Amino acid sequence: MQVTKGVTCPFCGVTCDDLEIHVEDGQIREVKNACSLGRDTFLHHLKGLATPRIDGKAATVDACIEAAAEILARAKYPLIYGLDSTELHAQRKAIELADLIGANIDHTSSICHAPSLQAVQTVGLPTCTMGEVKNRADLVIFWGCNPAEAHPRHATRFSVTPKGMFTPQGRKDRTIIHVDVRKTPSTRMADAFIQIKPHSDYEIFSVLTALVKGHDLDVAEVGGVPMEEWRRLVALMKDADYGILHWGMGLTMTRGRHFNSGAVLALATDLNEFTHFVAKPVRGHGNVTGADNVVSWSTGFPFGINFGRGYPRFNPGEFTTVDLLSRGEADAALIIASDPAANFPKPAVEHLKRIPVIVLDPKASVTGQIAKVAFTTATYGINTGGTVYRMDDVAIALRPAFESPYPSDEEVLTAIKNRVRELLAGSGRAGAPAAQKVA
């Protein structure tokens, strides 16, 4: 039995790096320290495994690379999408490839926290690490998120129960508030629950900001909650030594979107006139925070980027994947570690079915079923090393438990990029903007 300690879980943005994995005969037999989501990630990472294939028939990796490169070299409006469930070096390769072929590149933040990323770029981010939350926060507000189900160890590692430097009594040293449109399992962690009307977040944050700045309002309720309750919350926020507001998709994907996230950030900023107050989105799947970071530092923009003119352009609604596919615009798609055919709206999925799709995924997926070229890749974090970003933008190293017979995402993307470069050079189209390519 081979035992690997200090393994990083790749499933959610808590990015727990204290797991212990027991492997025997190439099979994971035991997973220690993980939550149930993390355990399933490791124990079932080979479930539904498919082989590399072209047009549904088994093929070699080399044949898949050739077929994928030919599709991407010919495409006039290629799309690269996914990127959340892979590591940093593969994400960088995907951006290099997008630059080479003049592609549109987007990742899964586009359908979750894109409004938060837009707000951060306009308002700024009063930020912190999760270590600071553990050691200092005495007021934790969860707004429109459900970490008890989506990020099970968030509460025990950082935000609710752990004992920290300035929170030596753990849970007893913290006040926890949960705000949402309905009760969830996270409500049980809280000292108080505030139930608001759906789509009222922006209105509420406007009122909270007014109260923080000393303006009272002559109204009985806001967002279905009596004003008195909002006055009590503002008093709690001002009295805290260190407050944090964590928000989720209950805020970003409701009416107001990036205005909601911007209002949270502006409120947290204003509170710093009275105490130390920060705000952090609870980020979900895998290494989506890494995708934000890598795409932002490489292109200057956080998601939905188009290289069609030879330089990066950013325009949510135009270059975001659901919008682009729903309008029938891309003529080829490279999907990396994601399954858009399983969760995108019907018009977007219908267009994916009409164009050649290349998929990189360790598991069988719905998108893999419609793919012209499908690569089976090693599972990041379990079979490959590299780096991921925790939800607080802290880089964490991966520590693979055992090797996979399949190539990593980075290896496949590097091979595709090199072959595309050769094809473009051979046709005299190297460096040409996508619109100038000849089919």
Q: Give the footprint of ligand SF4 on this chain (CB under 6 A).
A: 9, 11-12, 14-16, 34-35, 37-38, 151-153
Closest CA to 81 of 304, 308, 402, 247: 304
The position carrying tokens 């990041």 is 380
* In the complex, minimum distance from the CB of residue 396 to ligand SF4, in angstroms, rounded to a whole number: 10
* In the complex, minimum distance from the CB of residue 27 to ligand SF4, in angstroms, rounded to a whole number: 20
Q: CB count, 10 Å around CB of 267? A: 22
* In the complex, minimum distance from the CB of residue 158 to ligand SF4, in angstroms, rounded to a whole number: 10
* In the complex, minimum distance from the CB of residue 51 to ligand SF4, in angstroms, rounded to a whole number: 28
Q: Is 106 helix (H, G, I), strand (E, B) or coil?
A: strand
Residue 213, classified by CB atoms within 10 Å of its CB into exposed (0-12), middle (13-18) or buried (19+), is exposed
Closest CA to 85 of 298, 380, 369, 384: 380
Residue number, 40 or 318, with CB nearest to ligand SF4: 40
Distance, in Å, from the CA atom of 195 to the CA atom of 197, rounded to the nearest integer, reads 7
* In the complex, minimum distance from the CB of residue 133 to ligand SF4, in angstroms, rounded to a whole number: 15
Distance, in Å, from the CA atom of 362 to the CA atom of 371, rounded to the nearest integer, reads 14
Residues 275, 241 contacting (CB under 8 angstroms): yes
Residues 153, 16 contacting (CB under 8 angstroms): yes
Residue number, 35 or 80, with CB nearest to ligand SF4: 35
Residue number, 9 or 208, with CB nearest to ligand SF4: 9
Distance, in Å, from the CA atom of 352 to the CA atom of 138, rounded to the nearest integer, reads 48
Residues 167, 202 contacting (CB under 8 angstroms): no
Residue number, 159 or 252, with CB nearest to ligand SF4: 159
Residue number, 207 or 388, with CB nearest to ligand SF4: 388
Q: CB count, 10 Å around CB of 292? A: 25
Closest CA to 265 of 284, 240, 250, 244: 244
Residue number, 37 or 63, with CB nearest to ligand SF4: 37
* In the complex, minimum distance from the CB of residue 15 to ligand SF4, in angstroms, rounded to a whole number: 5
Distance, in Å, from the CA atom of 284 to the CA atom of 147, rounded to the nearest integer, reads 9
Residue number, 151 or 351, with CB nearest to ligand SF4: 151
Q: Residues, the chain, total? A: 439
* In the complex, minimum distance from the CB of residue 44 to ligand SF4, in angstroms, rounded to a whole number: 13
The token pair at 272 is: 């710093």
* In the complex, minimum distance from the CB of residue 153 to ligand SF4, in angstroms, rounded to a whole number: 4
Contacts (Cβ under 8 Å, ≥6 apart) of 346? none
Closest CA to 130 of 333, 278, 31, 257: 278
Q: Is 53 helix (H, G, I), strand (E, B) or coil?
A: strand
* In the complex, minimum distance from the CB of residue 269 to ligand SF4, in angstroms, rounded to a whole number: 29
Residue number, 19 or 371, with CB nearest to ligand SF4: 19
* In the complex, minimum distance from the CB of residue 12 to ligand SF4, in angstroms, rounded to a whole number: 3
Residue number, 153 or 280, with CB nearest to ligand SF4: 153
Residue number, 18 or 350, with CB nearest to ligand SF4: 18
Query: Which residue sits closest to ligand SF4, CB atoms considered?
Result: 38
The token pair at 264 is: 């949270």
The token pair at 22 is: 């027991």
